[in-house]
Amino acid sequence: MKTILSVSVASVLAVSAFAFAATPQAPASAPAPAAVAQPAPAAKPTAAELKAEKKQIEADEKMALAECKKMKTSAEKKACKKDAEAKEKESMAALKAKK
Protein backbone atom coordinates (compact mmCIF):
# COMPACT_ATOMS: atom_id res chain seq x y z
CA MET A 1 0.00 0.00 0.00
CA LYS A 2 2.80 2.39 0.92
CA THR A 3 4.56 1.64 -2.36
CA ILE A 4 1.41 2.32 -4.35
CA LEU A 5 0.93 5.66 -2.59
CA SER A 6 4.53 6.71 -3.09
CA VAL A 7 4.40 5.77 -6.78
CA SER A 8 1.16 7.68 -7.27
CA VAL A 9 2.52 10.74 -5.44
CA ALA A 10 5.69 10.63 -7.52
CA SER A 11 3.71 10.40 -10.75
CA VAL A 12 1.44 13.29 -9.74
CA LEU A 13 4.46 15.42 -8.91
CA ALA A 14 6.14 14.52 -12.19
CA VAL A 15 3.05 15.39 -14.22
CA SER A 16 2.53 18.68 -12.39
CA ALA A 17 6.20 19.61 -12.84
CA PHE A 18 5.94 18.84 -16.55
CA ALA A 19 2.74 20.87 -16.88
CA PHE A 20 4.31 23.80 -15.04
CA ALA A 21 7.43 23.67 -17.22
CA ALA A 22 5.32 23.51 -20.39
CA THR A 23 3.27 26.57 -19.42
CA PRO A 24 4.58 29.62 -21.30
CA GLN A 25 5.38 32.51 -19.00
CA ALA A 26 5.62 36.13 -20.06
CA PRO A 27 8.78 37.98 -19.11
CA ALA A 28 8.41 40.21 -16.07
CA SER A 29 9.44 43.36 -17.96
CA ALA A 30 6.89 42.95 -20.77
CA PRO A 31 3.66 44.90 -20.27
CA ALA A 32 0.47 42.89 -20.24
CA PRO A 33 -1.55 43.21 -23.46
CA ALA A 34 -4.73 45.24 -22.93
CA ALA A 35 -7.08 43.19 -25.12
CA VAL A 36 -6.27 39.63 -24.12
CA ALA A 37 -9.09 37.19 -24.70
CA GLN A 38 -10.11 35.44 -21.49
CA PRO A 39 -10.06 31.65 -21.70
CA ALA A 40 -13.36 29.87 -21.26
CA PRO A 41 -13.95 28.82 -17.64
CA ALA A 42 -12.96 25.25 -16.97
CA ALA A 43 -15.77 22.74 -16.63
CA LYS A 44 -16.63 21.93 -13.06
CA PRO A 45 -15.26 18.59 -11.90
CA THR A 46 -17.70 15.77 -11.39
CA ALA A 47 -18.60 14.47 -7.94
CA ALA A 48 -16.51 11.37 -8.59
CA GLU A 49 -13.47 13.47 -9.51
CA LEU A 50 -13.88 15.60 -6.37
CA LYS A 51 -14.23 12.48 -4.21
CA ALA A 52 -11.11 10.93 -5.76
CA GLU A 53 -9.13 14.12 -5.23
CA LYS A 54 -10.28 14.32 -1.60
CA LYS A 55 -9.18 10.72 -1.03
CA GLN A 56 -5.80 11.54 -2.60
CA ILE A 57 -5.38 14.57 -0.32
CA GLU A 58 -6.21 12.46 2.73
CA ALA A 59 -3.80 9.73 1.62
CA ASP A 60 -1.04 12.30 1.06
CA GLU A 61 -1.57 13.68 4.57
CA LYS A 62 -1.54 10.20 6.07
CA MET A 63 1.72 9.43 4.27
CA ALA A 64 3.26 12.73 5.40
CA LEU A 65 2.25 12.08 9.00
CA ALA A 66 3.79 8.62 8.81
CA GLU A 67 7.04 10.23 7.65
CA CYS A 68 6.84 12.59 10.63
CA LYS A 69 6.88 9.62 13.01
CA LYS A 70 10.34 8.75 11.67
CA MET A 71 11.78 12.07 12.87
CA LYS A 72 14.22 11.85 15.75
CA THR A 73 13.38 14.84 17.94
CA SER A 74 9.99 15.92 19.19
CA ALA A 75 10.54 19.42 17.77
CA GLU A 76 11.10 17.96 14.29
CA LYS A 77 8.03 15.76 14.67
CA LYS A 78 5.90 18.69 15.80
CA ALA A 79 7.04 20.92 12.93
CA CYS A 80 6.56 18.12 10.41
CA LYS A 81 3.06 17.39 11.69
CA LYS A 82 2.05 21.07 11.53
CA ASP A 83 3.42 21.32 8.00
CA ALA A 84 1.52 18.21 6.88
CA GLU A 85 -1.71 19.47 8.43
CA ALA A 86 -1.28 22.91 6.85
CA LYS A 87 -0.74 21.37 3.41
CA GLU A 88 -3.86 19.24 3.90
CA LYS A 89 -5.94 22.29 4.88
CA GLU A 90 -4.64 24.24 1.89
CA SER A 91 -5.42 21.36 -0.49
CA MET A 92 -8.91 20.92 0.96
CA ALA A 93 -9.57 24.66 0.59
CA ALA A 94 -8.47 24.52 -3.05
CA LEU A 95 -10.72 21.51 -3.59
CA LYS A 96 -13.65 23.32 -1.99
CA ALA A 97 -13.02 26.30 -4.28
CA LYS A 98 -13.34 24.01 -7.32
CA LYS A 99 -16.92 23.09 -6.41
pLDDT at 4: 59
Q: Give the model's pLDDT for residue 44.
A: 84
Q: Exposure string (b/e) for 71-87, b if CB count within 10 Å is 16 or more?
A: eeeeeeeeebeeebeee
Check whether 28 has a pLDDT greater than 90: no
Burial 11-44 (b: 16+ CB within 10 A, else e): eeeeeeeeeeeeeeeeeeeeeeeeeeeeeeeeee
Q: Does the pLDDT at position 85 exceed 80? A: yes
Annotated domain spans of the chain: 1-9+47-99
What span, in angstroms and rounded, lies between the C-alpha atoms of 91 and 58? Answer: 9
Residue 3, pLDDT score: 58
Q: What is the pLDDT of residues 31-66, one digit of tens each?
A: 555 555 666 666 788 899 999 999 999 999 999 999
Closest CA relative to residue 55, chosen from 63, 43, 44: 63
Indicate the average pLDDT of the chain: 78
